[in-house]
């Protein structure tokens, strides 16, 4: 077996289009090498390259100037959090046919495209033909001025438009998680300030003018549940669990002043009943972070606040378990129900 010649440096570590390889002097026979995936007509992906959804989408849009990344693909490229089932995991078993008909939806389920993570989601403007390629879910979208942006040459829907479009794919709770991440902003005495991808007021204005966009109905429901200041998807999910359980509202990134009037920032706080919740992710397991957490816990307790710590295991046990722990703390702080 003859040894494959190395690809030019400019295309060896990312998806590329066949014309691009030809311009770099790569012979057509080299593009049939076993070290290359052929995800779709005219596109090659080096098997040794790191997964790069943006680069893969860019290779498709370079071949077709009328297409752009959209829905869950645009969301993932824009770093909008998605549930695991919606993240891009292409099927390696061969050609698949995209199913783009939505299924019935409610708050917790649907509508969603069956197996959306198996496909790269590409769209054309309404009136055009559907993008039809192996491994691609094609859509036609009504596009207005400002709905499309470009990142390093890749055309895709804007953050606000992507979020509205996600209303046709995600259940409401997951849409809220995505929306919380989009509008999250805060300035604390430690760390750099966090700026929103889209400020909440701007997102409200966008959704208010989004009549006729598929997904806007659910986006308007989710919009009323968004809160500014959330730091992570688990915090959003935790807040929604407590809301569904009928507990008093907890504010994200809640400030508690210690006995010296120095601020302590809690993940979720109910000032009325002086109760706060901390979601302990993996970074809380380090000795350094545990020491900082212990000091924070002491400062909160000294001013009469009761704290509940929740972790991944609690969340996996379900909403009733989590709500019962928080109810117990609230009752000790005067909440009666």
DSSP lists the bridge partners of residue 123 as 68, 139
Which phi and psi angles does 100 have, rounded to 5°?
Answer: -115, 10
pLDDT in tens, 6-57: 888 878 878 888 888 888 888 888 888 888 877 777 788 887 777 789 988 9
**What's the longest Cα–Cα distance across the chain?**
78
The full set of domain ranges for the chain reads 16-50, 54-223, 233-332
Burial code of 1-19, b = ≥16 C-beta within 10 A, e = fewer? eeeeeebeeebeebbbbbe
For residue 222, give both structure tokens.
């989710």
DSSP assignment letter at 129: P
Query: Could you tell me the pTM of the whole model?
Result: 0.84
Which phi and psi angles does 308 have, rounded to 5°?
Answer: -120, 130
**Does residue 106 register a pLDDT over 60?**
no
For residue 35, give both structure tokens.
């070290």
Rounded CA-CA distance 103/113 in Å is 7
Domain 233-332 top-level CATH class: alpha beta
Rounded CA-CA distance 140/126 in Å is 5
Residue whose pair of structure tokens reads 């001025």 in the numeric block: 145
**Does residue 184 register a pLDDT over 90?**
yes
Which phi and psi angles does 138 have, rounded to 5°?
Answer: -95, 145
Q: Is 232 left (phi over 0), alpha (psi -120 to 50) or beta?
A: beta
Residue 135 near residue 126, CB atoms below 8 Å = no
Share of the chain above pLDDT 70, in %: 89
pLDDT at residue 108, rounded to an integer: 41
Residue whose pair of structure tokens reads 């990142």 in the numeric block: 151
pLDDT in tens, 139-173: 999 999 999 999 998 999 999 999 999 999 999 99
Residue 163 near residue 79, CB atoms below 8 Å = no
pLDDT at residue 326, rounded to an integer: 97
pLDDT in tens, 117-138: 678 999 999 877 888 888 889 9
Q: What is the mean pLDDT of the chain?
A: 86
* DSSP one-letter string for 152-169: TTEEEE-HHHHHHHHTTT
């Amino acid at each position: 077996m003859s040894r494959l010649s190395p690809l030019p440096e400019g295309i060896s570590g990312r998806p590329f289009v066949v014309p691009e390889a030809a311009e770099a002097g790569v012979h057509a026979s080299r593009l049939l090498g076993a070290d290359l995936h052929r995800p779709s007509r005219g596109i090659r992906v080096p098997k040794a390259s790191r997964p790069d959804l943006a680069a893969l989408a860019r290779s498709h849009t370079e071949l077709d100037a009328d297409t752009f990344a959209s829905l869950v693909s645009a969301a993932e490229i824009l770093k909008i959090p998605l549930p695991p089932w919606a993240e891009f995991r292409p099927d390696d078993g061969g050609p698949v046919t995209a199913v783009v008909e939505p299924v019935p939806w409610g708050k917790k389920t649907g509508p969603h495209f069956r197996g959306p993570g198996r496909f790269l989601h590409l769209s054309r403007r309404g009136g055009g033909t559907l993008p039809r390629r192996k491994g691609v879910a094609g859509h036609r979208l009504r596009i207005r001025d400002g709905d499309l942006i470009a990142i390093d040459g890749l055309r895709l829907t804007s953050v606000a438009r992507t979020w509205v479009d996600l209303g046709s794919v995600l259940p409401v709770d997951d849409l809220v998680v995505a929306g919380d991440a989009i509008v999250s902003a805060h300035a604390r005495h430690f760390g750099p300030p966090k700026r929103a991808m889209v400020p909440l007021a701007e997102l409200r204005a966008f959704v208010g003018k989004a009549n006729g966009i598929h997904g806007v109905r659910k986006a308007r429901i989710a919009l009323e549940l968004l809160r500014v200041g959330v730091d992570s998807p688990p915090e959003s999910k935790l807040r929604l669990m407590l809301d569904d359980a009928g507990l008093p509202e907890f504010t994200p990134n809640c400030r508690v002043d210690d006995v010296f009037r120095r601020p302590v920032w809690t993940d979720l706080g109910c000032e009325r009943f002086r109760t706060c919740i901390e979601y302990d992710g993996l970074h809380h397991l380090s000795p350094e972070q545990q020491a900082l957490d212990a000091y924070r816990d002491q400062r909160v307790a000294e001013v009469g606040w009761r704290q509940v710590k929740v972790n991944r295991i609690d969340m996996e046990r379900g909403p009733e378990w989590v709500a019962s722990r928080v109810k117990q703390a609230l009752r000790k702080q005067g909440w009666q129900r």
